[in-house]
Structure 1
Amino acid sequence: MDRLSALMSRFTLSVRSCAIEEANFVIIAEARNSRPAYLIYSAGEELGLLEPDKSAVLLSARVTWGGPQNPLLAALPDEVRQDLTNDLEMQAIVDLLLAEQTAARCGSASVLNRLGEVLLVRLMRRQIEQGEMQVGLLGGLADSRLSRAIVAIHHQPGHDWRVDLLAQEAGLSVSRFAELFRRSVGTTPLAYLRRWRLTLARQDLERGDRVQRVANRYCYGSPEALSRAVSQEYGQTPIQIRKAAAAQNDAFPVS
């Protein structure tokens, strides 16, 4: 199964051009010419590294991707820098993105968003392939054994998972799986499962789903059990979360 798709599909990704001061995603040119040399993405609120030559910035953009609830963002270091000089495929995508930005044709904002999404997916993929991440989700996904269990959680969050079943997915003994998972991901398998379920439950509640239906969907024994878990995690009851989301949608309706 795909290591990223099930997780990524749960969070809306937006890439929009902005001033350098607001950017958390930039493409930088080589010092000796205007060719793209590398891109930088910051999982934090801003890039604190653009103090040098701002004229070298070919593109500055703001990426939003589910905020702190997205475990992919939580797994990233404060700064991810990708060298483009020896990556012809990435260079081709960047060239298309820059051309679209310069031409400013009809629908360019949508095209920029899609191409920016492609770049970010490839950036995530590269982080997994390099296997150099510190403790966190991407470190777990980089391990071919753990990734099978993690992807199973992402694909089937409502399954009645136990540690032994997840260990079977990984092809490891229970003790070895639990040890390796904690060391690589930084938490226990069931704690990660719990957090993922609550993330999805909150999304569903914000869309207006009923508490009973959400509780059934994510393997909570009752609406009361879900309410306790949500309140402990977010400091709000499911009803409060749903009402707050409805009020925000009324204030800022989607056109």
Structure 2
Amino acid sequence: MFDWKHNNIGHYNGCETVLLAADFELDIENASLLIDALPDFFLVATSNPTAQNLKNTIETLDQELQTPEFGFDLIRQHLAEILLIQFLRAYSLLNRQNDNPVNWLGALGDSKIAAALHLMHNQIDHKCTVDSLVQAIGMSRSAFSAHFKTCVGIPQLQYLRRWRMQIARKKLIAGKRVAEVAESVGYASESAFGYAFKKVFNQSPTGKIKMADPHH
């Protein structure tokens, strides 16, 4: 859900400046996965290859904010989504150019690691190992392990465990049984699942699930 709060236009030193403020509402269960990967402040310089696209989207959004024509609410919402994605692209690109590890967000710009993340995200009910990942993306085991940690910041199996537990907690909050959830995220036993869950969230999956997301 995206909610654009207000649009202010001011004039400073003879140049027009458009100020757009926005609130982005995220699922509380997974919010830290994105927030932890972002800085408190990020400036997109005009030299960034994505700057022109951002500028075009902002200008179009500004026009829609000032012109309440038919369908403007829907257009604003989709433009907000596009603007957020373009911003994330700009941040990811800059950090790749500077060789900075930026968690999973920056890793999406690396074709090999992005392919591995895609497999992890879409096959959580299967046994995912380093060997299966390197075979799928065409890298050696040692090169993949080192490159994944450089790009994402943590080892691949630690990332996979955290991703699975995020999905598992959402299912538990929705009222699913522990045994059913354990199987759905690739665990053959409740005990193994419970150990992994406690490792990530410091609580048992059979206890009262906390809504707040701790940083790990």
| TM-score normalized with structure 2 length | 0.77
% identical aligned pairs: 29
Separation of aligned partners in 1, 2:58 and 2:155: 39
Query: Is 1:15 the equivalent of 2:14?
Result: no
Structure 2, unaligned stretches of length 5 or more?
212-216
Deviation string 1:142-165 (CA, Å, 9 cap, x unpaired) is: 222222111211121222111111
Q: Secondary structure of the residue that 2:175 maps to in structure 1?
A: coil
Give the counterpart letter for 1:99 in structure 2: Q
Q: How does 1:221-240 map to 2 (within 5 A)?
A: 221-240=188-207
Matches within 5 A, 1:166-185: 166-185=133-152
Residues 1:174 and 1:101: Cα distance change in structure 2 (over 3 Å): same
Counterpart residue number, 2:58: 94
Correspondence for 2:35? 73
Q: Distance in 2 between matches of 1:202 and 1:17?
A: 30
Secondary structure at 2:158 match in 1: helix
- Measure how far apart 1:196 and its partner are: 0.6
SS in structure 1 of the partner of residue 124 of structure 2: coil
1:154 counterpart (121, 125, 128): 121
* Cα distance in 1, alignment partners of residues 13 and 149 from structure 2: 43
- Write out per-residue CA displacement over residues 112-162 of structure 1, whole angstroms, 9 at most, x where no aligned residue: 332111111122233344424622213322222222111211121222111
**Which SS does the other structure have where 1:82 is aligned?**
coil
Q: Over residues 55-111 of structure 1, what are the superposed CA-to-partner deviations in whole Å (9 max), with x where a residue is unaligned?
A: x45211112333583423322222222347985543332233223323456765554
SS, match of residue 43 in structure 2: strand
Cα deviations across residues 32-75 of structure 1 (Å, max 9, x unaligned)?
A: 433xxxxxxxxxxxxxxxxxxxxx45211112333583423322
Q: Residues 224 and 110 (structure 1 numbering): CA distance in 2 closer, same or farther, change over 3 Å?
A: farther
Whether 2:69 is the aligned partner of 1:82: answer: no
Q: Distance in 2 between matches of 1:123 and 1:29?
A: 25
CA deviation profile, 1:230-254 (whole Å, cap 9, x unmatched)? 2332234334446x67xxxxxxxxx
Which residue of structure 2 lines up, in the alignment, with residue 46 of structure 1?
none
- Give the alignment partner of residue 158 of structure 2, picking from 174, 180, 191: 191
Q: What are structure 1's unaligned runs of at least 5 residues?
A: 1-13, 21-25, 35-55, 246-255
- Report the RMSD for the aligned CA atoms in angstroms: 3.3
Change (3 A) 1:188 1:108: same
Query: AA paired with 1:162?
Result: T
Give the structure-1-normalised TM-score: 0.67
Rounded Cα–Cα distance in structure 2 between residues aligned with 1:111 and 1:96 = 10
Supply the distance in 1 between the matched residues of 2:140 and 2:9 (Cα, whole angstroms): 45
CA contact (8 A) 2:61 2:76 kept: yes
1:209 to 169, 176, 181: 176
